[in-house]
Structure formats: C-alpha cells, structure tokens
C-alpha cells in the first residue's frame, strides 16, 4: 500500500489552515483529493470508541450523570426508539408551546450526541415538537427499548442506570416532568397553590418516579395513572431544583 511522506501531509494541512480548498491542495501536491479530505477530516476507526454493551464501534458521546438522567426521564416520559435501515432513531415528543423546554431539550441532545445528527420537526399544525437524534446504539443507551408500548412491557432500570439516577435524581425528575408531567395552579375554593404532576400509563415508570421523589424526602400522592406533589415545602424544593414547565 502506498503511503505519502509525512512532509506531504504536513504541507496539505498547512494549506488547509490557510483556507485553500481540497481540490487546489491536491493539484499543488499531486495527491488525490480524497486523500486530502481524509487528512483534513479523518474518518478512521480511531475516531470511534467501543460500545461497552455490544462492543461495536460508535461515535464518541458526551454524557454527564445529570444529562443522562434528564434524557432518561424524557425518554421514559414520552420518548420512542425506532429501528431504521442502518441506524436507530430516538424521538421525544413535546408540547411546542413550552418553547424553553423544547429549546433546552434540543440543546441537551446536541450536548450528549455531539457527533450525531440531531433535529426538530413541528407537527399537528405546529402544536407538537418532535426532537430526534440518530445513533446505532440508542437501544444500548436505553435498554428499556423493546417492541410495543412501554406500559405493555416491564420497565426496570439496569444497575448502572440506577446509579446515575441516584447521583442526579433532580435531573431525572426534571426530564419526567418536562416530557409527561405538568406544573399547574390548583384552585380549591378561595385558595390557590402550585402543584406538580406526572402522568404515565406504565406502573413501572410511575414506580421509578415515585421512588425517586421519596428518596429525596418528597411526599408524592399516588393515583392509578398519575402522581401529584402539592405540599408547600415539596413544591418549593421542586421549583428550586426542577423548575417550572414553560
């Protein structure tokens, strides 16, 4: 296999830094344009890392405990993973009227997947925002993925996921609230007070949300398909650590 001399590669990179395009660099140095392209923007295996779950290569990710916990909450609340021809796609469905939530969720995806395509689409005449990211390892990152609806199959966190949620519980709660929850004013007679709610058809997901709340000293009220938090001190802590949905 023919290998170009190191000084040729160095000269090509120097010209690229000067703003010379690949075709002109290739003409000046007498090398193929594709070689110049690969020198300037390498696509070798070294740019990938090994997935600790399936052992296949993947583009480097950038997850902190807080970011993963929040994204897990968004996925469990109202996210869906689907298989495409050569990759997988995660879609998160959000109410478009909550512009800050949508913007920050998109920024979260871009932060966690810096080397993967991330996008946004508006449907239902602009009422619903769908955020999406493509990666061949989404089912490794979220092993709760499976056929059918979440409430029709068991949803149990793996030990490493539980460790992350334990390390960043408020971020997990924020993801849940922002995807499948609400912050609302509860009116009882002449009294008005702020309340938090989380609704899901999966009893397992409700269990996870409730257990995380209890571990933080909150006192959630459990219903068949929903959880409410409306005690004054609980709401104050949620406001401080989770924020409102706006």
Instruction: Note whether 80 and 158 are same-domain residues.
Output: yes
Residue 51 lies in a domain: no
Write down the H helix ranges in the chain: 6-17, 22-29, 33-40, 65-78, 99-112, 138-141, 159-167, 169-180, 203-215, 232-241
Q: Is 222 exposed, middle or buried (0-12, 13-18, 19+ CB in 10 A)?
A: middle
**96 lies in some domain:** yes
Same-domain status, 157 and 112: yes
Structure tokens at 186: 């509860």
| Domain of residue 105, residue span | 57-241
H/E stretch holding 192 reads strand 191-199
User: Do 30 and 135 lie in a common domain?
Assistant: no
Whether the per-residue pLDDT at 200 is higher than 60: the answer is yes
| Residues 126 and 34 both lie in one domain | no
The answer on 67 and 15 residing in a single domain is no
Please check whether residue 156 lies inside any domain of the structure: yes
Q: What is the pTM of this model?
A: 0.77
Exposed/middle/buried for 144, CB within 10 Å: 0-12, 13-18, 19+? buried
> Do the domain assignments include residue 52?
no
pLDDT band at 1 (very low <50, low <70, confident <90, very high): very low
- DSSP 8-state symbol, 24: H
Whether residue 206 is contained in a domain is answered as yes
Could you report the per-residue pLDDT of 145-187, keeping only the tens digit for each? 988 889 889 999 999 999 999 999 999 999 999 999 999 888 8
Percent of the chain with pLDDT over 70: 91
Is there a single domain that holds both residue 32 and residue 130?
A: no
Report DSSP state, residue 137: T
What digits encode the pLDDT tens for the residues 40-64? 766 544 456 666 667 676 777 888 9
pLDDT of residue 46: 46
Residue 32 lies in a domain: yes
Q: For 151, which DSSP code?
A: G
Number of folded domains in the chain? 2
In a domain, 48, yes or no: no
DSSP 33-55: HHHHHHHHS--SGGG-EE-TTT-
pLDDT tens figures, 88-128: 999 999 999 999 999 999 999 999 998 888 999 999 888 99
Residues 28 and 79 in one domain: no
CATH value at residue 119:
3.10.28.10
136 and 31 in a common domain: no
Structure confidence at residue 44 (pLDDT):
47
16 with 81, same domain? no
Q: Are residues 141 and 88 in the same domain?
A: yes
Residues 205 and 148 in one domain: yes
Q: Are residues 69 and 151 in the same domain?
A: yes
Question: For residue 107, is it within any domain?
Answer: yes
């Amino acid at each position: 296999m023919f290998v170009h001399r190191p000084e040729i590669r160095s000269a090509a990179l120097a010209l690229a830094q000067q703003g010379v395009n690949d075709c002109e660099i290739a003409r000046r140095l007498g090398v193929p344009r594709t070689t110049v392209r690969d020198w300037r923007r390498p696509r070798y295996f070294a740019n990938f890392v090994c997935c600790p779950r399936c052992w296949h290569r993947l583009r480097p990710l950038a997850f902190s405990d807080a970011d993963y916990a929040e994204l897990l909450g968004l996925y469990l609340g109202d996210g869906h993973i689907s298989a495409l021809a050569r990759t997988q796609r995660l879609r998160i469905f959000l109410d478009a009227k909550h512009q800050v939530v949508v913007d920050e969720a998109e920024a979260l995806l871009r932060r966690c997947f810096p080397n993967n395509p991330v996008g946004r689409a508006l449907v239902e005449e602009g009422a619903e925002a769908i955020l999406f990211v493509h990666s061949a390892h989404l089912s490794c990152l979220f092993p709760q993925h499976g056929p059918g609806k979440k409430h029709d199959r068991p949803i149990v966190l793996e030990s490493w996921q539980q460790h992350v949620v334990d390390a960043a519980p408020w971020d997990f709660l924020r993801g849940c609230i922002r995807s499948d929850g609400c912050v609302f004013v509860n009116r009882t007679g002449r009294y008005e007070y702020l309340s938090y709610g989380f609704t899901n058809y999966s009893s397992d997901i409700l269990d996870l949300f409730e257990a995380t709340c209890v571990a933080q000293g909150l006192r959630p009220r459990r219903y068949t398909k929903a959880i409410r938090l409306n005690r004054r001190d609980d709401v104050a802590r949620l406001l401080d650590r989770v924020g409102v949905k706006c």
